[in-house]
């Protein structure tokens, strides 16, 4: 004897309506615990990914800064020596020093913007938590 799929769905829907409040709350508690565990696992994975990216970025930034600094020192010395051919050496060093400070300030400002806290936020986890909150509110109605 075959069971009609429509009849089975209707009987399952009727069984869900006939469940007690205690059974529904028990299901809700179980699902909530599972949801919290899943969210924590997502947060842990996403934070690991973000920290790994930040570590790689800091390492590359440090190595690049060290190499660029040595090249920068050579260029500064060359600029001072070249400008000293037309100006007194102290004036040449002063001009090159101010230009270096200006460029450094601009680069520091750009770097600060790239290391903003918003780029390190676990966005997928926060979005998922908002969706879970909406789902939970819907289930509690």
Q: Please, which pLDDT band fits residue 7 given cuts at 50, 70 and 90? A: low
Q: How far apart (Å, rounded) are the C-alpha atoms in residues 122 and 133?
A: 17
Between 7 and 23, residue with greater pLDDT:
23
User: pLDDT tens across 17-41, in order?
Assistant: 667 878 888 888 888 889 989 999 9
User: pLDDT tens across 57-72, in order?
Assistant: 889 999 999 999 899 8
Task: Quote the crossing angle between the two packed helices 123-140 and 21-83, to the nearest 10°.
Answer: 160
Q: Please, which pLDDT band fits residue 4 given cuts at 50, 70 and 90? A: low
Q: Please, which pLDDT band fits residue 8 given cuts at 50, 70 and 90? A: low
Non-local (6+) Cβ contacts of 129 within 8 A are 39
The dihedral formed by the CA atoms of 96, 99, 100 and 101, expressed in degrees to the nearest 10 = 130
Q: What is the pLDDT of residue 24?
A: 80
Between 139 and 94, residue with greater pLDDT:
94
Instruction: Please give the full DSSP string across 20-49, using - where no structure is assigned.
Output: -HHHHHHHHHHHHHHHHHHHHHHHHHHHHH
Region for residue 66 given its phi and psi (left: phi exceeds 0; alpha: psi -120 to 50; beta: otherwise): alpha
pLDDT at 99 over 80: yes
Q: What is the pLDDT of residue 5?
A: 62
Q: What is the pLDDT of residue 13?
A: 64
């Amino acid at each position: 004897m075959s069971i009609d799929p429509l009849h089975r769905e209707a009987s399952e829907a009727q069984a869900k309506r006939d469940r007690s409040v205690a059974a529904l709350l028990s299901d809700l508690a179980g699902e909530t615990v599972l949801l919290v565990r899943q969210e924590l696992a997502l947060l842990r994975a996403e934070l690991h990914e973000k920290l790994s990216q930040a570590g790689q970025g800091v390492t590359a930034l440090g190595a690049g800064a060290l190499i660029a600094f040595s090249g920068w020192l050579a260029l500064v010395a060359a600029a001072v020596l070249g400008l000293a051919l037309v100006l007194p050496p102290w004036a040449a060093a002063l001009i090159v020093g101010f230009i270096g400070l200006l460029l450094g300030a601009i680069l520091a400002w750009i770097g600060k913007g790239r290391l903003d806290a918003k780029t390190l936020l676990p966005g997928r986890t926060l979005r998922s938590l908002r969706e879970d909150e909406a789902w939970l509110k819907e289930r509690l109605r």
